[in-house]
Structure formats: C-alpha cells, structure tokens
Chain A
Amino acid sequence: MEMNVTRRQFLKLSGAVAATLAVVELGFNENEAKAKANSFKIAGLKPTPTICPYCAVGCGILVYSKDNTVVYTEGDPDHPINEGALCSKGTTVRQVYTSDRRQEKPMYRAAGSSKWEEVEWDWALDKVAQKMKETRDRTFQTMENGVTVNKTEAIACMGGAALDNEETYLLSKLMRAGMGLTYIEHQARI
C-alpha cells in the first residue's frame, strides 16, 4: 500500500513521536521511583516479649502481632541470654501459631481404635485426671524392702522448655509430693 506522506508531514510526524518519547524517557521523577522498598511490615506494632518454647537455653523472643495473627518474631536484643540472636528453630517460632498444620483442639484416640477424634478441653482434662488417679491407685506402693516409699513407678512426668521456673516447681511438687511419681524429667535433659 502506498502512503502519501509529504516530506513536511513526515517531519511533523517524526517530531511528534520523538517529543513523546523524550517526555516518556526524561520526564519521570527518578528519585521517587528509585529503590522503592516494601512498606515496613512491623511499623507501629508493639512487640510482646516471650520465651522460646524449645530447648533449655530460654532465649528471649519479641512477637509482633497484628489483627490477631503473628506477623514477625525475632530475638529480643535486650534479653540477657541471647542478646537478640536465635537459632534456626527458635526463629521459626512464628509457625507455632500461624502454621495450617497447627492442632487447635485436643485429639483423642480410644484404646484399640485406629482413629483420632476431636474432643473438648474439659472432657480431655477430666479423662487425663481420671486415668492418672486410676493408674496411681492401682500401682501405688507404700513399702519396699521394709522401707516406706509411697511411690508409683507406672507414671512418668515430662516437663517442657515452655514452662518457666515457677511452673516447673509446681509441676514437680504436684507429681512428687501429690502423686508419688519417681520418674520426673525435663525435655532439656534428655
């Protein structure tokens, strides 16, 4: 197809194109567009200090939460034990709350059953209490080799690193003095 463009028209046209291109190329505010980082995701959030639930070191962690979910966790720089640092496991602590594999209700598998079923907390705690009492009463020894022992060897108690000093004290008091357990351990020692 033949285009009837005069030399003058051609010059006008190319001038207009070049002018448009020049505006596009040179007209942007470079400073504004330069190095645009993401918005600061913990802006304005107040961190809640907590203790890492994993090993026995007990590192301090700051939890930044927003709209009822955790957006970020990091080592607490003011904590005397870890001074802001964390191991790879402690760094993942956010997933304890946010993971979609998190179990939010107690699960119960009846003896002989192959299925787990969701149960209520009250029911589960009652069941545990009932079983503990029953086992303790069934296996309780008052004397061994002529010595008063008042113990049961049928139950063991395991503490976890998420427990603080006072909770651990109360737990061992309950288990030793109340229930008569001898096998009392802590996750951090095994």
Chain B
Amino acid sequence: MAAEYLKFVDVTKCDGCRACMVACKNWNDLPPEYEEFQGSIQSHEQLTAHTWNVLTFNEQETTNGGFEWLFRHQSCLHCVQAGCEKACPEDAISHTKFGSVVVDADKCVGCGYCVQGCQFNVISLATYKDKRGKEYRKAQKCTLCTDRLEQGLQPACVTACHTDCLIYDEREAVLSEANSRLLQVKDRFPNANIYNPQGIKGTTTVYLLADKPSVYGLPENPKVALSQVVWKDYAQPIGKAMLGVTTMAVIGAVISNSIAKVKNGDKGVDHHE
C-alpha cells in the first residue's frame, strides 16, 4: 500500500545541525546514549533501540582536493515491502494507514528476526526489566511519529528542521519537489539521485542523495528475500487455512462417525479399535 503522504529528505539542504536527532529524543522520551569520540564529528555511530535517528557525517574529498561533508538524516525508511515485517513470526510489525511501519510491543517477543530482516540496520532490540528483575527484549525503531500523524501533526524531526531538508507532504507534491530539487543540484552533485527503491515497492521516506546510495551506506537495490515473501505471504496464510480445514475435517469426521455409530448401533463401535 503506497502512502498518501511521504517524508522527504533532501540531504543537499542539510546543514548538519542535528535538531532532528534531538527532536526525536524529545518527542519519544528516549534516554541519552553516551558514546566515545569516534574520530569524526558524527555523534552516534549507528541507530540503536534508543536512538531512532542519527545524522551521519560522511567525509569526502572533492575533485579539486577540497573537503566536503555529506550529511544524511538516517532513520527508518518505512519500506512499502518491509523486510522486518516479512521476517516477523508474530505479526507484531505492520503498516499503518500513513504507510509507517510500526512495532506492536504487546505482540513482539524480542526474537530479533526483524533485525536480520532489515537491510538498512534500522531496527534493533531494547532490553527492559520487568518488576521481578527479569530481562525481556522488544524491537524498537522510528515510528514516523505515528501518534503525531494521527493528531494531524507532522513528525517531530520534520517540525524541527530549519532548512526544509525534511518535508512531510502529499505524495505527488513530494515527488515533484524531489524532481525539481534534483535538477537544481545536478550541477554541483553530478551523481545526485532520488532514492525510492522500487525493489521494495518504494519507501515512505524518499531521499534526494548527493551521491550514489552506496556512498551513504545504503543498498543500491534492496530487495526482500524471496524466501521471506513466500514464508510470510503464502506459507503462513496457507498453513493457517490448512489448520482450519483440518479442524473442520476432524470435527466433521467426529460428527459423521457419531451419526454412523447411532445408525449402526453398538456393532459399529468396536471395529475401529
């Protein structure tokens, strides 16, 4: 299901202020995660269960020997065909009407299959403790602020952005804006492209990248493994249907046997055993 609204990330407009990161923590009440200096100005190495949004700083040498940062607002892309959703054995991950992919914490058992299923290293497991001190895990990631969308508000990261690098708008408006911005930046970034991978039927977060996806650590052409699609979309539903059919058959057999028993009197009872 393609969403009516899309989030658009124009990395060429990003100035690396990281307000989106803080806005995300602020809205979702996520705890801080302290990290050692990694030798780069990037604050966190990667997305975690408590950091749903990291601004990556890609250090690049320009053709004339200069230095340039490529920024990218990194968070869940909310794939239309989501690897995490396909991998989830508990149906805990689903799409909302906004196209966002969300985890139902009540259903999640913390198995971590979704972590393997995501090609963007977005989803990960958070460890919690219950009242008796027993540890349990739940998958956590960006929700596209679905709770805000339901109230007619924009995602927290989008409201914070002061350069219009992040936009949340109607699908057509976003795609035409993306195309016109692509034309504007082509001179400066010849490799610029719009990242909306069709191998996973598009994403609800569309990027305008200044360079090839691989430069940003994104897969060039992501796909959900066929085996997972078969498992989730065919094997599981058919299995459930078979279970129903079997149940009905067994119940039917019991009933017809009982009828046969009544018909045949006591004679029919013993020859089955």
Interface residues of A (CB under 8 A from B): 6-8, 11-12, 14-15, 18-19, 21-22, 25-26, 33-41, 43, 72-75, 77, 82, 84-88, 90-92, 94
**CB–CB A92/B26 < 8 A:** yes
Interface SS majority for chain A: mixed
**Number of residue pairs across A and B with beta carbons under 8 Å?**
104
For A12, give the chain B residue with the smallest CB separation. B254
- Interface assignment of B19: CB less than 8 Å from any CB of chain A: yes
Q: Which of B22, B240, B246, B253 is A91 in contact with, Cβ under 8 Å?
A: B22
Q: Which of B106, B143, B148, B160 is A86 in contact with, Cβ under 8 Å?
A: B160
Q: Which of A35, A43, A73 is B96 in contact with, Cβ under 8 Å?
A: A35
**CB–CB B272/A15 < 8 A:** no
**CB–CB A11/B250 < 8 A:** yes
- Interface assignment of B174: CB less than 8 Å from any CB of chain A: no
**CB–CB B151/A74 < 8 A:** no
**CB–CB A77/B96 < 8 A:** no
For A85, give the chain B residue with the smallest CB separation. B162
**CB–CB B159/A84 < 8 A:** yes
A146 to B34, CA, bound (A): 60
For A71, give the chain B residue with the smallest CB separation. B29
Given the known A-B contacts A40-B147, A86-B162, A88-B18, are A22 and B247 also in contact in the complex, defined by CB atoms under 8 Å?
yes
Contacts of B244 in A (CB 8 A): 22, 26
Q: Which parts of B212-270 form the interface with A (CB within 8 Å)?
A: 240, 243-244, 246-247, 250-251, 253-254, 257
**CB–CB B19/A88 < 8 A:** yes
- Among B22, B143, B146, chain A packs the most CB atoms within 10 A around the CB of B22
For B252, give the chain A residue with the smallest CB separation. A15
**CB–CB B254/A11 < 8 A:** yes
Q: Which parts of B1-46 form the interface with A (CB within 8 Å)?
A: 17-19, 21-23, 26-27, 29
